[in-house]
Chains A and B, each alone.
Chain A
Amino acid sequence: MTRLTVPKTYKLYIGGKFPRSESGRTYEIATRAGGFLANAAKASRKDARDAVVAARSAVSGWSSATGYNRGQVLYRVAELLEGRRAQFVDELVQSEDLSSRQAEAAVDLAVDRWVWYAGWADKYAQALGNGNPVAGPYFNISVPEPTGVVAIVAPQSGEGHSLVGLVSAIAPALVAGNTVVVLASESAPLTAISLSEVLATSDVPGGVVNVLTGSPAEMAPWLASHADVNALDLVGAGALDWVALQVAAAETLKRVLTPEDGSDAAAPSLQRISAFTELKTVWHTKGLL
């Protein structure tokens, strides 16, 4: 007797839940050879709006957690990623047509990067902040604070981009206490949804990461012009009209990172963390000695 296959429904990840698109739309994900792989939700601008609301409400909790605590939570995500490596390898092989050796290497890289960024969570403030010299009986201290809600267009191409590129784009934004709305790879969104299942079962609060699958060309303009989004990472927007996105983002003074191409797109660096922080400088009187 043949057994019916039970294919998985890939849905969105908004506010810690897995809703279908508000629009009811789905699109077919194909293997590189053109065969049917899965149906994924095709998010609309209203899903993007809902994701921003979820991200906004998660800012206060996530940004007020201590750096040490955020590091622990992010490290735990890396542990869970490691535990699901077989699933990620399988999805990379199917959706990006990698050999299993290439897929293994991509998962390794993704986990390593996640751990690398997790380590920064209680250290970036020391590296970016400063005690400033002033001529007077004051302490003058600069400390980095999170920018707020960061909208990200994840890398859309390159070997292993659907996992490595995604991780490289969202992890640095999370380190400083930002919350994220990410537009996953349009052609290979399955790993992004599996990553959100990892996030949902880790200690990352709901709403801190929101994953939308579908057309970045359709949703990115709404996020770029959204007044409640504080920063825009266009790392994977090279194929879009990203100058227009930058112009729209300028209306509400968003921080913008421009597209990157090639195999070292979104390479790990402290700059990706500092890009989504704001320096706060405070004066404080010295105690009388």
Chain B
Amino acid sequence: MKTIIKIDPMTRIEGHLDIEAVIDNKKVVEAKSKGTLYRGFEQILTGRNPIDAVQITQRFCGVCPTPHAIASSQALDNAFGVMPPDNGRIIRNIMQGSNYIQSHILHFYHLASLDYYRGPDIPPFVPRYEADYRVPETVREKLVEHYIEAYQIRLKAHELCAIWSGKMPHMASITPGGVTIIPRIDNITTSLWRLKELTDFIDNVYIPDVITVGQIYRDYFQIGKGCGNYLSFGLFDLDSEPEVTKRKRFFQMARMSKEKVYPVDVNQIAEDVKYSWYDSSSHKHPRQGDTTPNPDKPGAYSWLKAPRYNGESYEVGPLARLKIAYETRSNPKINQLIDETLNKLQVGSDELCSVMGRHIARALECKVVADEITGMIMQVKLEEPVCVPHQIPDSGEGMGLWDAARGALGHWIEIQNQKIARYQAIVPTTWNASPKDDKGQAGPIEEALIGTVIDDTNNPFELARIVRSFDPCLACAVHLAEIGKSEKTFRVI
């Protein structure tokens, strides 16, 4: 007999999401997720001064405003024909790195970890699902302590960002052509010491905690595998190549399919809408995409379009970046870190493609990023320019490609009469939570959910654990990709 489970609302994620799963003989055979809020950002952006996009698009998401500010600035750099000087490039990297650290720590401790142990018996830690909490009491006490400590440490990552950005959330100091902040020696010193504290926490608390949870929930290296394709637009600009796809990056822009790494050709990205509530033409590049909503479209079940690369679904996020780095051996330190961790856990590298693998990847990446921006802070040069002046052209087009903490992020802008004529973005959660495409292929979260065994339909914690491992950000996905004019509902499967 088929049972339907509804998780409505899905809490401890960013934004508003409902999950619905059809269970047959204890197994998930179908699932739907619904984004339940619509703001209509594309309409809000149209007609505004192009530079305002840097501020407005940050408001997609209060957890990850930084990548939106950077992607939209890159799109404007591109449209205006300017490139930030070294200081501007480096300071953008530092701001992004600090946002990764904040986001990853927040995700593991405050969004995901309560799926694996009981918090204190007071609100907001009760009520809760009666899940298979297997963590021994001594470990649990430590995790609760670290949950609290993580609140204090993540705000230091925000401070680190604000030292350069003015404030967080929602940064002030980013502009087309670079950044606005004039670096001072005290910015550098105080950043380094905050990073030291963050690095100590990541090394001595965060990574060991994730490994401990991974050892106890060993079976979650087998659950929630996903689609097996990985995409990253790359992170941290290392040079000032004007063509964004040719720019040298610390995490390179690449994709991985069947364990092999390939370059990314942005023209291969198209959005299908067969199962989405749009009358728009299907299989369009985001630059040409249109959005004509039709909530009554037969057969459709989602307000999300289905972005595909060369017709295939791709998972984005820390796992994608680390898989690509590991396979290409682009940085020996990353391979060493992954190998050591896999050894400790006694799991194979193929098992990283799982619920627990995503948590491990996020934690290891947090360390890599903290180390990397420590080096970058030392590259900031006092007395040198932070931005180049820009002029808004009468018309033009621009593209920004970047990796948010949650994965590949693209912004596309079209300018006419010095105003925004069109603004499109594909955000990480649109890739991960996409519905079926025109060929009927499921999206990454869909793939990860289908086939999962649900022990007790009254406590479907397995579903929550899978969905949360992707760190979904509905504030971004729904507000952006859903550019319809009627109510907002999308379904993961």
Binding partners A and B: no
| Chain A residues within CB distance 8 Å of chain B | none
| Chain B residues within CB distance 8 Å of chain A | none
